[in-house]
């Protein structure tokens, strides 16, 4: 059976201010999410980015070329209704944050991790009052409950649209601290991605690149960069 695919039926995609934000219109009619909710976003910049994606479609619609639309759909249809669950899921990353688990050898790698990650742990302490403890090896380190609470509070302060982006920033990097650092403008999404791959880059330096792993990494890097842009446009 041939899969049914939506074809372009509109002439123009535009943006209109409406109750609760900005709507994307196709020939004057509002776009709906997959759950049939009006696609209304918090900023005109985000609405224009989504409208540009619709305007760029030719012939059959390709959702893979519409990341802003897909993220907005997720924010409206999923995160808005599961906000607390998403916050709880992301807050758990603080218990096993990537920045807190260090190699015990070789010395060059441990020094590289400390130089890159220690300043961000210090930033988290100064910014959120979250004093996370790093450790060598793979043994679980129990983090201070109050520190974890402060980090969770930072997530609770976000909007559903911001949290949608933050979900990718944290889940892809494996670090609550890196994700929040992007949200606060401390580092860029690209910098967060690079910082999350110190171990992988060390292995590549020692043994060379794996073509398939490199392709997967680039997909994740693109997703990180998109999440950073989506967060910035979410108000």
Q: What is the pLDDT of residue 1?
A: 36
Residues 57, 106: one domain? no
Residues 140, 29: one domain? no
Residues 141, 50: one domain? no
Inside any domain, residue 6: no
Q: How many domains in the chain?
A: 2
Residues 127, 29: one domain? no
In tens digits, what is the pLDDT along the chain, a chain of 235 residues? 344 467 888 899 999 999 999 999 999 999 999 999 999 999 999 999 999 999 999 988 999 999 999 999 999 999 999 999 999 999 999 999 999 999 998 999 999 999 999 999 999 999 999 999 999 887 888 999 999 999 999 999 999 999 999 999 999 999 999 999 999 999 999 999 999 999 999 999 999 888 899 999 999 999 999 999 999 999 9
Inside any domain, residue 91: yes
Residues 22, 95: one domain? no
Residues 129, 180: one domain? yes
Residues 159, 55: one domain? no
Inside any domain, residue 226: yes
Domain of 33, CATH number, reads 3.30.2180.10
Q: What is the pLDDT of residue 137?
A: 81
Residues 90, 17: one domain? no
Q: What is the pLDDT of residue 196?
A: 98
Residues 41, 133: one domain? no
Inside any domain, residue 2: no
Inside any domain, residue 72: no
Inside any domain, residue 122: yes
Domain of 218, CATH number, reads 1.10.3580.10
Q: What is the pLDDT of residue 6?
A: 79
Inside any domain, residue 78: no
Residues 94, 53: one domain? no
Residues 163, 229: one domain? yes
Domain extent, residue 189, equals: 83-233
Inside any domain, residue 8: no
Q: How many C-alpha atoms does 58 have within 13 Å on its Cβ side?
A: 1
Residues 114, 198: one domain? yes
């Amino acid at each position: 059976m041939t899969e049914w695919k939506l074809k372009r039926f509109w002439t123009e995609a535009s943006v209109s201010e409406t109750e609760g934000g900005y709507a994307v219109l196709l020939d004057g009619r509002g776009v709906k999410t997959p759950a049939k909710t009006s696609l209304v976003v918090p900023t005109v910049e985000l609405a224009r980015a989504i409208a540009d994606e619709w305007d760029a479609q030719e012939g059959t619609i390709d959702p893979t070329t519409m990341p802003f639309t897909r993220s907005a759909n997720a924010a409206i249809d999923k995160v808005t209704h599961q906000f607390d669950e998403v916050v709880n899921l992301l807050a758990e990353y603080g218990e096993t944050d990537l920045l807190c688990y260090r190699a015990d050898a070789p010395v060059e790698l441990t020094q590289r991790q400390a130089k890159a990650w220690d300043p961000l742990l210090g930033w988290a302490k100064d910014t959120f009052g979250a004093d996370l403890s790093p450790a060598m090896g793979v043994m679980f380190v129990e983090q201070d409950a109050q520190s974890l609470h402060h980090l969770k509070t930072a997530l609770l302060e976000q909007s559903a649209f911001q949290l949608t982006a933050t979900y990718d920033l944290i889940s892809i990097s494996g670090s609550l601290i890196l994700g929040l650092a992007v949200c606060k403008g401390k580092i860029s999404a690209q910098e967060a991605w690079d910082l999350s791959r110190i171990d992988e880059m060390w292995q590549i330096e020692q043994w060379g690149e794996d073509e398939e792993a490199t392709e997967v990494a680039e997909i994740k890097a693109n997703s990180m960069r998109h999440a950073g842009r989506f967060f910035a446009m979410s108000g």
